[in-house]
Amino acid sequence: MSAAKEQKSSASLFKSLQDKNFFPVYLFYGEEEYLIEEYTDAVLSAVLQPGDADFNLDILYANDCDGAAIVNAAASFPMMADARVVVVKDFHALNEKSLSLLLKYVEKPSATTRLLLCSSELRAASAVIKKLTPYGFSLEAKPLYDNQIPPWIKNQLQKRGYTISDEAVAMLQANVGNSLRRLLSEIDKIELHLQGRKDIHIEDVETVVGLSKEFTVFELSDAVAEKKIKKSLRILNRLIDLGEPPIAILAMLTRHFVIIAKAKEMAAAKTQRDEIAKTLKIHTFFIDKYIHQTQLFTREHLTHIFSLLLNADQALKSSYQKPRLVLELLILEIYSLV
């Protein structure tokens, strides 16, 4: 099977590596950096034998090298091994000349080199990705959907020999969000907290993670929807101080009110709670919270809120106003609908 026709999924990647069916070029890109690292590590583990990395692994950063350096490394023969691996991180930073050299190489790559091109900045629609995809195994590292996070958490813990209750999973996701790296960091903390115990309950998550929960975008969304103005502004400013991108904050607020609007319509149609949760891909642990929040806003309120969210989005992208001020005004305007 040619690389261009290979199914672009993590399952097919791991299957091909298990079968020792290697490709000369791998293209790992997308928003979820942790998955890019996971894919990269999987290739390294499958291709390189113990001790091979000392002589047959090059890790290059596009900001510190050019296309010639990448091609030279990729064209080199392995030393006392079947193959060598060249990893290029942040390859989106290469200039046009370097990309041109790289494209010429991938058209006729070395049979004994596995070239890994990695970028968390590029997406499938990128012209660079479209040019390179036909010549290698291309896999986009997309953020997991809300409903994919719970099984991912359980799988990570299962690999470590732990079990976790559904309520604890829901609490962990709500407090930490969907960032896989942050979730793993909190899982590490929970593991230390357990001191040898193998079952994780909601109390464990509350103890370990609960102290930081008011500084997540999820908690901000709840505070805004609950019309808790002081808490909303406190969390907003803390998030911005911690470096949370304002556009990401706005995106999560928008998502939250979209769920509220849809839940309100479904509740009005006498839809059952479990069906609402399934349709909106919400854990049943949180459905009562959303249904409660639907009662705090009329349809007219929600229509106006979506207009406010759109205005804030335009202001963040084009206005001279400071992002902090844009979001503070948005929260105050939503609160004024009380």
Q: Are residues 150 and 236 in the same domain?
A: no
The confidence score (pLDDT) of residue 130 equals 94
Q: Are residues 222 and 266 in the same domain?
A: yes
Distance, CA of 312 to CA of 237 (rounded, Å): 16
Q: What is the 3-state secondary structure (H, E, C) of 312-334?
A: HHHHHHHCCCCHHHHHHHHHHHH
CATH at residue 49: 3.40.50.300
Are residues 8 and 120 located together in one domain of the fold?
A: yes
The last residue of a domain, from among 120, 140, 160: 140
- Give yes or no: residues 133 and 9 share one domain: yes
pLDDT of residue 6: 41
Confidence (pLDDT) at 277: 85
Q: Say yes or no: 113 and 237 in one domain.
A: no
**Domain match, 209 and 222 both:** no
Q: How far is CA 227 from CA 86, 230, 306, 333, 338, in A?
A: 52, 9, 16, 11, 8
What's the confidence (pLDDT) of residue 87?
A: 96
Q: Region of 227 please: left (phi>0), alpha (psi -120 to 50) or beta.
A: left
Distance CA 67, CA 90 (A): 13
Q: Encode the chain (338 residues) as per-residue pLDDT tens digits.
A: 334 444 479 999 999 999 999 999 999 999 998 999 999 999 999 999 988 888 999 999 998 899 999 999 999 999 999 999 999 999 999 999 999 999 999 999 999 999 999 999 999 999 999 999 999 999 999 989 888 999 999 999 999 999 999 888 988 887 788 889 889 989 998 998 998 899 999 889 888 886 555 467 888 898 999 989 998 998 998 888 878 889 889 998 999 999 999 999 999 999 988 889 889 888 776 788 889 999 999 999 999 999 999 999 999 988 778 999 999 999 999 999 86
Q: Which domain holds residue 181?
A: 146-213
> Looking at the structure, do residues 222 and 185 belong to the same domain, yes or no?
no
> Is residue 29 helix, strand or coil?
strand
**In this structure, are 115 and 83 located in the same domain?**
yes
DSSP characters over 183-251:
HHHHHHHHHHHHTT--EE-HHHHHHHHGGGGGGSHHHHHHHHHTT-HHHHHHHHHHHHHTT--HHHHHH
Domain end (from 106, 123, 140): 140
Specify whether 43 is located in the same domain as 95.
yes
307 and 237 in a single domain? The answer is: yes
101 & 88 share domain: yes
Under 8 Å between Cβ of 252 and 221: yes
Domain stops at, among 116, 140, 164: 140
pLDDT of residue 182: 85
Write down the residue that tokens 């991180």 correspond to: 89
Do 106 and 159 belong together in one domain?
A: no
> How many domains does the chain divide into?
3
Model confidence, pTM: 0.64
Q: What is the CATH number of the domain that holds 311?
A: 1.20.272.10
CATH value at residue 182: 1.10.8.60
Amino acid at 278: K
